[in-house]
Structure 1
């Protein structure tokens, strides 16, 4: 028995199976609005609708993300993974101008909402409709130099009830990439300490022009 115990001591201990995130179990949403010209500078015209189509895009919806107060669920088990109906995907392209983005957002984030796909994307549209884009960011004909605090201040001025601790600008080393706005499950603005802590800290950024 002593020998057997010694042999067993050298074996790796079994690990507990990972616990999957549960659909509907989260605290709030983040509405992520992507500055399309930055994305298209990186992707060129490979994304034909968003970057190569006839319509120029400014801020577009990247996604509506269920969040915990710390961390976030992803890729929840939402049952059979049948593809999204084409009509549903096509119906989102005015605010999420990429079919692959719509499908990815459902798999990665919508599956954790506890809603079916149609209701999740209806909620995504409602969240987007809740936020007013500041006038200065609707039509940007040339490179615009801004600070993260200026972008936040413009959104706060345009959206009563939105506060500094409920919005965060995401960037790379020199450009605005996204604006992330925290919302309750019924789409009211709210604070979100962890999202705010991860905000861009670069003092000066550019926003490439809308083509």
Structure 2
């Protein structure tokens, strides 16, 4: 094909811009940034994003399988030790979570639908709003430390539960209330086995193969507990196999 003489310089300019990264090749602007879905749900900090995405980095049984919303086998309740998050992230940590009035113990990272054979549903379509209102968050703010984390949990996991937004967070609270939490674990190094045993001793029906401890860097970060849809403790070997392999991760007190 022959090109008109004036078209060649134009094509060369366009190609040069694309190579320099100033013109996106796929039609998507490289300058797009995350925008808050509501005035109440502000964009998360980089540290909050790392915590929110911990379920993707270290999910015990894989992820993102295309099945209908509500079609899952059991729940995984992820409890985050807040002082470990704050110590690990340092100056990058959420000021709300790690400030003077922030939580000093376990908080809810999320309640995640899981598949027995491996994998978990993710980012399912829902007739419910994707955003979390301030009114909704006020009812769970004692469990989940930031509205950004709550919104992320709903969109990624809750929308796949087959529950309404309100019922998903009610179920999250009911799962949290199911547990008695150890009070004397923190303050130094603790073995994952001892942490698990402390939970087992306090919660009748909970077994060592029903939970797992996870670590990140030098810290004990989470305790993850498997529950059936009626919130009874169940064994979950796939979760247990992905537990922390550190000998004695740190479990600090709040500064």
TM over 0.5: yes
Matched, 1:38 2:78: no
Normalised by the size of structure 2, how large is the TM-score? 0.70
**Whole-Å Cα distance in 2 between the matches of residues 80 and 29 of structure 1?**
20
Partner of 1:4: none
8 Å contact from structure 1 (residues 21, 74) kept in 2: no
Residues 70-102 of structure 1 show CA distances to partners (whole Å, capped at 9, x for unaligned) of 111111111364422220112211111111000
Deviation at 1:116, TM superposition (A): 0.4
**Whole-Å Cα distance in 2 between the matches of residues 80 and 151 of structure 1?**
37
Partner of 2:66: 20
Matched, 1:59 2:106: yes
What number of residue pairs does the alignment pair up?
190
8 Å contact from structure 1 (residues 20, 77) kept in 2: no
Higher relative contact order (CA 8 A, sep 6+): 1
Please list every run of 5 or more consecutive structure 2 residues that lacks an aligned counterpart in the other structure: 1-63
* SS class of match (1:103): helix
Please list every run of 5 or more consecutive structure 1 residues that lacks an aligned counterpart in the other structure: 1-17
**Whole-Å Cα distance in 1 between the matches of residues 65 and 78 of structure 2?**
27
Matching residue within 154, 174, 178 for 2:218: 174
Partner of 2:181: 133
Distance 1:150 1:20, change over 3 A: same
8 Å contact from structure 1 (residues 31, 63) kept in 2: yes
**Whole-Å Cα distance in 1 between the matches of residues 203 and 228 of structure 2?**
15
8 Å contact from structure 2 (residues 75, 113) kept in 1: yes
**Whole-Å Cα distance in 1 between the matches of residues 128 and 184 of structure 2?**
44
**Whole-Å Cα distance in 1 between the matches of residues 97 and 183 of structure 2?**
21
**Whole-Å Cα distance in 1 between the matches of residues 115 and 231 of structure 2?**
15
Distance 1:186 1:149, change over 3 A: same
Deviation at 1:160, TM superposition (A): 0.6
Matching residue within 231, 240, 254 for 1:187: 231
Deviation at 1:144, TM superposition (A): 1.5
Deviation at 1:19, TM superposition (A): 7.5
User: Aligned-pair RMSD on alpha carbons?
Assistant: 1.7
Partner of 2:54: none
* SS class of match (2:223): strand
Deviation at 1:170, TM superposition (A): 0.3
